[in-house]
């Protein structure tokens, strides 16, 4: 039986750079968001995106997962709520479905980031909310894939995700690590 999708290339960090993967409770700072997961973990999440989006090619699915990892890495350390684009939300949904991986990833990044969906309403999410999130991701030192960060009505990539998230006062809640836990 053949694999339905080719395996993406390994992490883009240089040889000798740490490749922190979710194996313990504390993660080292990654060189790239992709370095947060092992190849097997990344492929599992990417295949979830592919399964939820029939006809999508592996290349954009991998980019979506990387965008979701960057979003999550910053959201776990940001006290004010951040808002994913609809495309990045697809990758976030895929991460969440891998519950053990997601929990370990959040705790290693600084705090559990809850996903509380709201009914879709393109008029309720402004480009400013997405722009503020992009700025936070860039300020954290991550590159932003501009094709993934459009408003809900003008994205060049079509995904199945069909929920929205509020601005800074919204439903994304970060629960920090309990004291004494590393």
The tens digit of pLDDT for each residue in 160-170 reads 565 555 444 44
pLDDT at 27 over 70: no
- With beta carbons less than 8 A apart as the criterion, state whether 152 and 159 touch: no
The Cα-based distances of 9 to 1, 27, 38, 39, 63 in angstroms read: 21, 22, 11, 8, 12
**Residue indicated by tokens 């705790």:** 107
Mean pLDDT of 40-48: 97
Nearest to 154 by CA among 91, 82, 87: 87
Cβ atoms 113, 171 nearer than 8 A: no
Determine the average pLDDT of the residues in 21-42: 72
Helix axes 39-52, 58-75, angle to 10 degrees: 110
* Predicted pLDDT of residue 82: 87
């Amino acid at each position: 039986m053949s694999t339905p999708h080719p395996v993406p290339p390994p992490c883009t960090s240089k040889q000798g750079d740490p490749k922190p993967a979710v194996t313990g409770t504390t993660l080292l700072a990654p060189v790239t968001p992709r370095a947060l997961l092992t190849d097997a973990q990344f492929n599992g999440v990417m295949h979830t995106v592919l399964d939820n989006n029939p006809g999508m090619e592996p290349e954009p699915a991998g980019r979506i997962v990387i965008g979701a990892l960057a979003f999550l890495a910053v959201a776990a350390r940001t006290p004010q709520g951040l808002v994913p684009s609809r495309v990045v939300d697809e990758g976030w949904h895929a991460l969440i479905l891998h519950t053990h991986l997601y929990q370990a990833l959040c705790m290693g990044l600084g705090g559990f980031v809850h996903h509380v969906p709201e009914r879709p309403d393109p008029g309720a999410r402004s480009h400013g909310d997405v722009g503020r999130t992009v700025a936070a991701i860039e300020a954290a030192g991550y590159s932003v894939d501009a094709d993934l960060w459009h408003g809900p009505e003008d994205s060049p990539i079509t995904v199945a995700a069909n929920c929205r998230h509020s601005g800074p006062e919204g439903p994304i809640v970060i629960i920090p690590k309990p004291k004494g836990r590393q």
